[in-house]
Amino acid sequence: MTKRLLLAAVIMATAVVLTGQGCGGGGEKAATLTIWETYNDEEHPVFKEMVRRFEETHPGVTIDVVRLPFAGAEPKLRTALTTKTEPDMARVDVSFLPKLAGKNALAVLDEYVPEEFLADVFPVALKSCMYEGSLYGLPDQTNGLCLFYNRELFREAGLDPDRAPATWDELIIYGKKLTRREDGVFGLGLRNSLWWSFPFFNTYGAEFLSEDGTRCLLNSPEGIAAFQLKVDLFEKHGIEGGAWRAGGIQNDLGFQNERYAMIMNGPWAVKSLKRTGIDFGVGLIPAGPAGSHTNVGGNNLVVFKSCPDPELAAEFLMFVANEENQRNWALTLGQIPVNLKAMDTITSEEHPYLAVFVEQMRTAIPRPPTEYYPEIENLMIPEMQAALDGSKTVKAALDTAVREIDKLLAGE
């Protein structure tokens, strides 16, 4: 018993001495911050290394990293928030941020992140961190779709393997040359969801939501024309293989098995496609009447309101998004950096695929932040499906979807 007491006394004394010294160090603070992240197996070690260097330059600070599976992160965060056991920081999908901000769960970071720093952050990605005029996070990753094409199939069809179709009209011509129905080979394979359809809407200049976020505008003439093109590629031109159908060959699988000569895909696909040994190129999204504009996805780092030291947390977020770390991130993992200065260092000679993505992202159009994005997706998908399989006209399908979405946005 006495021994145990003695031990306790020694431990307490040591603790007092240690913390005392910490305070005497001036400016340095001892703190532990927890972050829940969803990086994949390649990204996780790179992130851990980043954390290690942050801890090194901030003596006394510990960043506790908890890695979660991407699919389970959202329910886990929701449970944690209801029971007030959330971490200090988390990595969340761009569509989850407005929901968290709208529910008042996040710390506002405007006062901690200086203007000069924000000026270097890729604006499209930064926009996904804004909610009702305030900054609620910093991007750690951004992405968008480009057009992948099979160079070998291009050669067989007598097309230039170094040149992707520049416009939708050109894509149709290419597609007709590439499609060999008897062999089950199609020029194109497309996915059906709102996110995967934004390249169509964006290249036609169709707006998604009204400025104030209360109305959906996808049934505008531009929106209808854009989706009509997607339907026509399958129905009228017959160059799309029906990849969006239930039981159809999915776009990336069809591309791997050389059934689709062209698909849209993001930078994450480059690495695994290289492993398959397929000779492929990446080009910009074909231009429509409004130019070539892709969609935007990605992830943001956020700080929760309950974090005792939001300033330190914001410092960590800025560390992740700074030029050096972003360049390192991009070059190690082949992903699009979120820092403009890091973006400028990526050359097409050294990083041919990545350079195309970086170029494409510069004209990308982000979704306006809405708390209801997942619900909007759910309302859009069946209507888009009906338009694609011909059971509804494009106008009727989009009108119905927009009517339902407007009800949702009006809070009905």
Partner 1 sequence: MSVRRTSAVGTVVLYAGLTIAAIIVLFPFFWMVVTAFKQPGQAFSAEILPSRPTLENFSRVLSEFGFGRYFANSVIVATTAALFATMFATCAGYVFAKKQFFMKDKLFTFLLISLMIPGMMYVVPQFAIINKFGWMDTYRAMIIPHLANVFGLFLMRQYMMTIPNELLDAARIDGAGEWQVFLNVMIPLSIPIIATLFLLTFQFHWNNFLWQLIVANVDRLYTVPVGLAMFKSAHEELYTLKMAGSCISVLPIAVLFFFAQRYFIEGMTMGAVKE
- The span from the CA of 243 to the CA of 248, in Å, is 5
Only segment of 61-69, 128-136, 182-190, 336-344 that touches partner 1 (CB under 8 A): 61-69
> Does residue 75 touch partner 1 according to CB under 8 A?
yes
Size of the site for partner 1 (CB under 8 A): 34
Of 186, 97, 94, 197, whose CA–CA distance to 145 is shortest? 197
Going by the DSSP 8-state scheme, the letter that residue 346 receives in this structure is -
Stretch that binds partner 1, among 66-74, 156-164, 240-248, 404-412 (CB under 8 A): 66-74
Please select the residue that binds partner 1; options are 2, 57, 85, 104, rule is CB under 8 A.
85
What is the number of H-type helices and E-type strands within the chain? 18, 11
CA dist 101 and 179 (Å) reads 47
> Of 257, 332, 348, 391, which lies in the binding site for partner 1, with binding defined by CB under 8 A?
257
Cα distance between the two ends of the chain: 66
Q: Helix 323-333 vs helix 43-57: angle between axes, to the nearest 10 degrees?
A: 160
Tell me if 39 contacts partner 1 by CB under 8 A. Answer: yes
95 binds partner 1 (CB under 8 A): no
Q: Which of 32, 134, 276, 348 binds partner 1 (CB under 8 A)?
A: 276
If the CB atoms of residues 79 and 134 are measured against partner 1, the closer one turns out to be 79
Question: Does 69 sit near partner 1 (CB under 8 A)?
Answer: yes
Binding of partner 1 by 374 (CB under 8 A):
no
Please, which residue, 145 or 233, has the CB nearer to partner 1? 145
Write the single-letter amino acid at 271.
K
Please answer whether residues 38 and 298 qualify as being in contact, where contact means their C-beta atoms are separated by less than 8 angstroms: no
The verdict on 251 binding partner 1 (CB under 8 A) reads: no
φ, ψ (nearest 5 deg) of residue 298: 140, -170
Binding of partner 1 at residue 256 (CB under 8 A)? yes
Give the containing element (helix H, strand E) for 136. Answer: none
Residue 191 as a binder of partner 1 (CB under 8 A): the answer is: no
Which two tokens mark 390? 């011909």
Q: How far is CA 341 from the centre of its chain?
A: 20
Of 30, 46, 225, 253, the one binding partner 1 (CB under 8 A) is: 253
| CB 85, min distance to partner 1, A | 5
| 5 lines the binding site for partner 1 (CB under 8 A) | no
The one among 134, 210, 214, 272 contacting partner 1 by CB under 8 A: 272
Which of 251, 322 has the CB closer to partner 1?
A: 251
Antiparallel, parallel or unpaired: β 186-189 and 280-283: unpaired
User: Which parts of this chain interact with partner 1 (CB under 8 A)?
Assistant: 38-41, 43, 66-72, 75-76, 79-80, 82-83, 85, 93, 143, 253, 256-257, 266, 268-269, 272-273, 275-277, 297, 299
